[in-house]
């Protein structure tokens, strides 16, 4: 019999990495500061009533034109400059091993409004079963021309259902919307853990939590945002973004995995008993 699966789903910017991914290598090649770039994105969003993700993707092409080879390989190269929080690079192996020790299979997913191509260039890209993030369409010369995928804070929730039902292909809509009893789904919500850093993750964190899963908000120094999300019952836990061995975050996640393992054992007994 196949092992029950645990899905760990992560935002990227300020969840696994301290800053927006564009604030690393991409900004160094521009004639504007990070603050100026994001201010220009906000101005564009308001002036044209645009989706904020489409705004930043447009600005990347606009500001990067003539300064970068705007190709998938170039964006992936930028991923090498992205910094990660302490312990992130060894986190996945440790959590996978712990799940195995509990009779579970662990899968990791990215659900991010950041750029997929940059994430694919980071040293942890191979740890994820799927990376759901904004992505460009490339022409016959391999140059970015148009958004192929824009992932904002509300559209993120569709990917929870894709993971839940095992419909991972983003072009498959019919199967995604078909009714499937929760216990027949590939990964029940109770076996899901979502990691985010703030307001843009609220829909995913809340959806995971209310359906029996667990949501974790991580912070760097200021706890106020995390404390607010706890008080509003949006998340289960708040921890400093420290992914190192035996950190409070790791201990909490292992406790959640213990709980999932116990629940799966009880579910198995119920099925054997005919309930």
208 touches 164 (CB < 8 A): no
Per-residue pLDDT tens digits of the chain, which is 275 residues long: 689 999 999 999 999 999 999 999 898 878 788 999 999 999 999 999 999 999 999 999 998 887 777 999 999 999 999 999 999 999 999 999 999 999 999 999 999 999 999 999 999 999 999 999 999 999 999 999 999 999 998 999 999 999 999 999 999 999 999 999 888 899 999 999 999 998 889 999 999 999 999 999 999 988 888 999 999 999 999 999 999 999 999 999 999 999 999 999 988 887 777 65
* φ/ψ of residue 24, rounded to 5: -100, -110
Alpha carbon distances (Å) from 211 to 34, 131, 194, 215: 38, 23, 12, 11
Task: Report the alpha-carbon distance of residue 90 to residue 95 in Å, rounded.
Answer: 9
Determine the pLDDT at residue 28: 82
Give me 195's structure tokens. 């990691």
Yes or no: domain 5-19+84-273 corresponds to CATH 3.30.1330.120 = no
- Of 37, 131, 113, 115, residue with least CA distance to 78: 115
* φ/ψ of residue 140, rounded to 5: -65, -20
Alpha-helical runs (H) found in the chain: 25-28, 34-48, 52-64, 72-78, 88-101, 116-119, 157-165, 174-177, 202-210, 224-231, 248-273
Give me 240's structure tokens. 């400093």
Determine the pLDDT at residue 224: 87
Determine the pLDDT at residue 102: 97
Please, where in the chain does CATH 3.40.50.1000 lie? 5-19+84-273
Determine the pLDDT at residue 274: 62
Determine the pLDDT at residue 10: 98
* φ/ψ of residue 29, rounded to 5: -95, 0
Give the predicted TM-score (pTM) of the model.
Answer: 0.95
């Amino acid at each position: 019999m196949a092992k029950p699966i645990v899905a760990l789903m992560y935002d990227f910017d300020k969840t696994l990495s301290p800053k927006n991914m564009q604030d690393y290598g991409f900004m160094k090649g521009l004639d504007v500061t990070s603050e100026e770039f994001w201010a220009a994105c906000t101005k564009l969003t308001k002036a044209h009533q645009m989706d904020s993700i489409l705004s930043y993707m447009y600005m990347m092409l606009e500001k990067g034109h003539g300064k970068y080879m705007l190709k998938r390989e170039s964006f992936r190269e930028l991923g090498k400059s992205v910094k990660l929080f302490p312990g992130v690079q060894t986190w996945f192996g440790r959590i996978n091993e712990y799940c195995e020790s509990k009779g579970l299979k662990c899968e990791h997913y990215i659900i991010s409004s950041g750029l997929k191509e940059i994430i694919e260039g980071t040293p942890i890209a191979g740890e994820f079963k799927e990376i759901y993030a904004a992505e460009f369409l490339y022409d016959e010369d391999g140059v970015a021309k148009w958004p192929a995928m824009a992932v904002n804070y509300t559209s993120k929730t569709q990917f929870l259902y894709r993971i839940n039902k095992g419909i991972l292909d983003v072009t498959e809509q019919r199967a995604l919307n078909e009714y499937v009893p929760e216990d027949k789904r590939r990964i029940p919500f109770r076996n899901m853990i979502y990691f985010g850093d703030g307001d843009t993750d609220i829909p995913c964190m809340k959806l995971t939590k209310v359906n029996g899963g667990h949501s974790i908000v991580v912070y760097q120094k200021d706890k106020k945002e995390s404390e607010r999300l706890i008080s509003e019952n949006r998340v289960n836990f708040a921890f400093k973004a420290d992914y190192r061995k035996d950190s409070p975050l790791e201990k909490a996640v292992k406790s959640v995995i213990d709980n999932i393992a116990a629940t799966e054992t009880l579910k198995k007994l119920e099925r054997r008993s005919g309930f």
